[in-house]
Each structure stands twice: as C-alpha cells, then as structure tokens.
Structure 1
C-alpha cells in the first residue's frame, strides 16, 4: 500500500515501513483561518490532507504521511475571528520536529505540501535552506502557487463554474472542493455570499499590506454561487495529477505499469 498514515502506526511498524527502499515522508501543512461566512476554518487543512492521501495512492513507493499541521502563516486573515497564525520561526520549528522524526525513522527524502497560499513561498525557501545545510536528507516543497491556482482555475472552468478572475479564497473553486470532500452539510448557505471579484490593479498588494478585510469585507475572493460538488471532484483530480506528477519527477519515482 503506497499511502501510509503515520498516526495509525505503532513505533515498530513505523520503523519497519521507513526501512523500505524508496519510502518517502510527506508533511501536509494546512491553516486554520476564515473562509468566508460559509466554509469551515480548517478548509485548507482538510484539503491538503485529502490531497496528500490521494497523491500517495498514485505512487508505487510507500509514502508515509504525517498528521497535518493545522496552523500556518495566516496573518492577513487575523481581522476575522477564529483565525490562527504562526510566525515563520514557529512554523519552521514545528516542521523541523516532523522532519527529525521522519529522519530518525530512517527516511532520507521528505516532501512538504500545502493548500494554503500563504504557506507556499515560505515552504519553498525553508526546504531549500534545510537541503543546503543538511546533505544527509533531501527536503523539497511544492511551492509554485501560481501554477497551483491556475490548475484549479482551468479545471473549474472545464467543470462549468462561473469564475471571477480573483477566485482564489472561499469562492466557487474552494466551495466546490469542500462540497465534494466534506459534503453539503459542512457548507453554510453560500448562494448569496458576495466576495471581491473586480481584480483592480494593485489589489493583491493592498491585501498584503492591509489584510483581507481591506479588500473583501466578507473575506471571500471570488463568488461561490456557481459551486458544485461535481466541479469539486474535477478540481481535486486535476490537483492530484499535478502534485503526483511533480513528486514522481522530483524524486525519480517509478511510474505505474
């Protein structure tokens, strides 16, 4: 079985599986932050957990997936109740602890994966810094957020969603994903939710300087009205294919067949 959920293993089982030639550790890093008035706070965490497990299933080698780190870099969302944010040093220390655990098990290859846009750049820089000072272990991160969002966007369009150019947070894309992964009972009423959709020049810079609320009082970028669970499946499948392909290429993994 390629997907190995670390938290359900015993200590002796973890050691035995990690000794398998080619085994890889995967650390999902999520977030606990506002996702508009309709999506749960752990949206990014549940999505990276799902993405990690589905990517692992696509691999032939054992992929040992750690418990998801539930908080990330979410400073821009702090105006909204329920949001938790870590400073980079704290997040780095938490990731380091998981890397140390995987290394102590015998792994020499570790992947960092996120679904929260605010984590991507940091994870890329962090993985590079670790690899530069610790040659005994290879740490990589999927950090191409622009490509990640583009794949979501194109898959959403192909699935029939009506998307604003700003759709990137709690809009039709993420709402569709949560409808698919968690079900309609976990999504509050969203048909009348309005988010930021105009994409005026400099809007991203304003958000980074002043926070999400300065751009979108609802905390939403995009418009969730057209969301559907069927579209969520299409989007998730596209992301799984992207990340699985990247992981196989990065670590020169065997292709199925």
Structure 2
C-alpha cells in the first residue's frame, strides 16, 4: 500500500539482544540471518534530529525482519559512525576510522564465533560505507565458512526507482544530506520530531560535472564520472544540509521507506540461499591459515617485553640452555639498539594449570611475545589463542607434531625429533673421542665412516 507504512512493527523474535543464550544456540541451529544496522549521530541541518541516519536504518531493518517470521535477527544498532569532517557543526559524535572498523569487525567476529553463518551489515551513513565494507571482508578472512556482506540503504534498486518517480528536488544535490529523501522518510516515521518550519533549501556547494553529491544515481547532461572527495562540511553547506528538504512530504517518505524494505527483503532471500564454497589454495607449498592477516599484531614499542615459560628449571640443565641463548640474543639486540626485557617463568612439576595462570597474568601485563614449553598443549590452547587474539607473538617449544598446533596461528614453532637428536648426540660423541675405537674392555668396533660423520 503506497499510502501507509508497509507493516506493523512486530518485535517478537527479531531482536538479538532479547534472546537468552539457549535461544542463541537454537538460532544458530536454525541458520538465522543476522542484520546489523549501522548509522551515525551527526547534524542534519536545522530541521532533523542528530539520530537521522541511525533511526532510519534501524526502522528499515526492523520492518524487513518481520517478513521472515523469526528467521532474521536484528542486532542493536551501531549508532556512532565516522564523520570527522563534520565537526565544524555542533553535536556530532565521530569515531576514528580505526576504532570504528575494529568495532564492527569484533562484533561480527563474535557472531561468527557463536556459529552464525550469514551476517548482513546495513549502513545508513555515507562515510561509513568503505569502512563497513572493509570490516565485512575481514570477517570472511577469519571465518571462511561465514558469509558477511554489506550494503548502504541508498544503493537499493527499488528505492532508486521509487525516488525517480516522486522526485521534485533538482539533480544533482537536491537529495544528498537532510534533503528531500531523509526528510520525507523521517516525516513518515516520526513527524513530531521534524521541524519543517526550519527546513530550507541549501545546495550551495560548488558543483561541477565531476564533483557533485546526491543519493540518487541518474543520467544527466550536468554530470559525468563522480569523483569522491569529502571536504569540511562548512565549506559545502551553510545550514548543515545539502539538498532541498522543502520538497519533502510524508507520502513520499512512506513510498521510499516501503521501497527500501521491499528491496532489502529480496536481497535477504537471495543471500539466505547463497552457497558457501570451499577455498582451493593454489600455492605449491602448504598454507596452514586461510587468512592472510589473521589477528593483526599490535604496534610494539621499546622495551620489547618477552616471557619464557618453561618446565621447572632448577632440576635440569636442559631447560637452562634456552635461557642462556635468550640472554645472548638480548645482548645482540642491544648492540643493534633494540631494548628487550625478558622474564623466565618456570612451572612447578611442569603443571599446565600453573602455566595457564601465568599466561593470563602476562596478557594483562601487556607482554609483546610469549615463548612457552607447554606442559600439555590441549588444555593450554584456549589461553594461547587468547594471547594471540590480544596481539601477542607466540612461539611454541616442545616435542609436537605439526597437526597438534596447526589450528593455532602461532608466530613460530621450535621443536626436535628425539630419535634424530639421539643420533646426532651419538655422532657428536664419537667425533669428540676421535673416531671409532674401543667400546669397553676387549671389545673393538670398526664402523664405517658414514655411520658417525654427518
């Protein structure tokens, strides 16, 4: 119905945060799709509230979720976005691009960790777009069996078609920010919060054939290839708007909102049925981790803090040798003007529980690297993984087979084969004694040279 909002908002079974942990498990079993609305808090001229982007994207997601009878869950909206260029107008809350991207990545990584396989990020703010796209790609690097996609509301084809039918503002520029589109949709959703008496046309930015902005894409002799450049907002707008909100009506808003919902509904249906394909690595060598970046390492500052956790060192000279080598390495590092602090921690009776406690404490202390001789790798894996995800470089030292630690994205592994090391020790002993000779009284052996020389 073009005259009314498409559906009543039914909140039952669509809000992620209203579920219990047991219901989350059921949602995973049922392969439910996750929608994450993403907006901003920023000025929208004199007539619209700061929450315009967040409010609209949230309402679109809630409405489309009701079509799927509980098979689509809507996450709490990420209301803070990226817009530092707008801080010459009061009210905006901008998040640095690094923090914003990392926030989205960590939210979606949590969803993937819990078992959700289909995650759709829905963006409602222009400058968020490239950062949301990066975050979605990062999740799929970490979880190749998860599909994480994104789109911005104005890209929906049904919306574009509907707006062309009702548009009255000039192109380009009449529907960029707080203009005909956003004002119409806000009027349809909550007209009591729109100050139409304050709405004024503002298309004062310097337009050219290549430098222009508009939510709609149209063929026009006035425009050609759009070149992206974001200048400080006060150099583009006098009021905070770029557009003509005076052309906005509630009736237009209803039509545009319904078109967005319908277009997103079709996208979700297609997304739901999209198959996940196996990665086929084309390298000639074995690549253990499908992710190129995996867990990005933190920036290390001097002094570099390294911890070595080994078995009880007092009872055996074997475990003292690596410590001696590390102190020699520290001396070499200092010659190269690299400052290193190293701590050696032994665990009584080679106890993995004590090692877990030690690693937890060292993560909290912000160490840069962990070298560990695991007492028992299997129960230690969760805390080692936590260290890796915290940006700690991890080196394992042990008698391990590759498959035992293949699921950990460690920095390096140092190990040896007992049988081969025994052979080498024997060869070294024979060499030290000057070659083959008497092995006990009245017994002489004459092995070939190949047996004891490497």
> Could you state the TM-score of these two structures normalised by the residue count of structure 1?
0.85
Decide whether aligned partners of structure 1 residues 242 and 3 sit closer, same or farther in structure 2, where only a CA change above 3 A counts: farther
Decide whether aligned partners of structure 1 residues 12 and 23 sit closer, same or farther in structure 2, where only a CA change above 3 A counts: same
Which of 168, 172, 176 is matched with 1:162 structurally?
A: 168
CA contact (8 A) 2:42 2:91 kept: yes
| The 10-residue stretch of structure 1 (201-210 or 77-86) with the greater mean CA deviation from structure 2 | 201-210
Which of 52, 56, 59 is matched with 1:43 structurally?
A: 52
CA contact (8 A) 2:108 2:139 kept: no
2:15 aligns with 5
| The 10-residue stretch of structure 1 (86-95 or 29-38) with the greater mean CA deviation from structure 2 | 86-95
CA distance in 2, matches of 1:124, 1:61: 26
2:183 paired with 1:175: yes
2:102 aligns with 93
CA contact (8 A) 1:37 1:188 kept: yes
1:108 aligns with 117
CA contact (8 A) 1:190 1:224 kept: no
Secondary structure of 1:110's counterpart equals: strand
Shift of 1:48: 0.8
Structure with bigger gyration radius? 2
Deviations 1:47-91 (A, max 9, x none): 111111122223366111110001111123211111111122211
CA contact (8 A) 1:77 1:211 kept: yes
Q: Which of structures 1 and 2 has the larger relative contact order (alpha carbons within 8 angstroms, sep 6+)?
A: 1
2:332 aligns with none
Secondary structure of 2:34's counterpart equals: strand
CA contact (8 A) 1:177 1:231 kept: yes
Deviations 1:190-218 (A, max 9, x none): 46512116771124599944322211111
Which of 11, 25, 28 is matched with 1:18 structurally?
A: 28
Could you tell me which runs of 5 or more consecutive residues in structure 2 were left unpaired when the two chains were aligned.
1-9, 214-225, 275-454
Decide whether aligned partners of structure 1 residues 213 and 135 sit closer, same or farther in structure 2, where only a CA change above 3 A counts: same
Decide whether aligned partners of structure 1 residues 47 and 56 sit closer, same or farther in structure 2, where only a CA change above 3 A counts: same
Deviations 1:26-55 (A, max 9, x none): 111111111110101010001111111122
Shift of 1:230: 1.2
CA distance in 1, matches of 2:162, 2:85: 27
Decide whether aligned partners of structure 1 residues 46 and 86 sit closer, same or farther in structure 2, where only a CA change above 3 A counts: same
CA distance in 2, matches of 1:11, 1:109: 19
Which of 228, 245, 250 is matched with 2:266 structurally?
A: 245
Decide whether aligned partners of structure 1 residues 192 and 60 sit closer, same or farther in structure 2, where only a CA change above 3 A counts: closer
Q: What is the correspondence of 1:205-224 to structure 2 with a 5 Å cutoff?
A: 208-224=229-245
2:201 paired with 1:194: yes
CA contact (8 A) 2:159 2:259 kept: yes
CA distance in 2, matches of 1:164, 1:81: 28
CA contact (8 A) 2:101 2:135 kept: yes
| The 10-residue stretch of structure 1 (30-39 or 71-80) with the greater mean CA deviation from structure 2 | 71-80
> Could you state the TM-score of these two structures normalised by the residue count of structure 2?
0.50
CA contact (8 A) 2:124 2:152 kept: no
CA distance in 1, matches of 2:45, 2:243: 11
CA distance in 1, matches of 2:40, 2:60: 14
